[in-house]
Amino acid sequence: MVRIKGANSDYQFKDGSIQEVKGDHPVYLKIFLCPYDMPSPIEEPDENGWCEGTDEQCPHGKKNGEKSPGHALICLHQEDGISLETNNNVTATGPLVAEKGIVAKQEIVAEEKIVAKNKIVVEKGITIKDELVLDISEAKAGLVITMKGEEILRLNISEQGDIELSPLNPSKTLKINGNLEVTEGLTVAGKELPI
């Protein structure tokens, strides 16, 4: 046996030899590493089955009652497309280009920056550990925050550096829960108030 493995939908070890199992099931090809030299689906199975390229299902862990780290799997699948599976990092040393989008089920971690030419859609939220830097120098009308498809707040910064924060629905109130500190002047409805 070898530690660099392969498996595909059309062949499987059955009844003492490799058998053709073509049928209505989706076509796939797997290329993977098993550091523990467990058999793949085209080899005679271990008493705990075959390794199919993941830490969780490798027979080595079942046999020894321990984890089996170090697997890495590339799968070409008729319905699921191309997948890379490992409990270690998947690294692209050059640019990783996604023409139609990137879907992250857990998280996207950017050590330097994320650049979006069109838009970034976040379904649940963004957590910023240090600071959020927004460069809106190219924005034509400032920054607009929408909720459920309705524009609710606009942030405008003029070329002179004046900042304007405006609720886009005139019936809405801009409320500050907590202290408001003003270090220069304060103008309310056109009247300057003493500080």
Domain count for the chain: 2
Torsion of CA 139, 144, 149, 152, to 10 degrees: -160
With respect to residue 78, please indicate whether it lies within any of the assigned structural domains. yes
pLDDT tens-place string over residues 97-125: 888 878 878 777 777 777 777 777 777 77
Q: Which of 67, 87, 107 is the last residue of a domain?
A: 87
Domain residue limits at 136: 132-195
My answer on whether 3 and 76 are in the same domain is yes
Q: pLDDT tens, 150-191?
A: 888 888 888 788 888 888 888 888 889 999 888 888 888 889
Instruction: Enter the pTM of the model.
Output: 0.59
- On whether both 78 and 3 belong to a single domain, the answer is yes
Is 51 exposed, middle or buried, given 0-12, 13-18 or 19+ CB atoms closer than 10 A?
buried
Query: Order of strands across the sheet with 143-147?
Result: 143-147, 150-157, 163-167
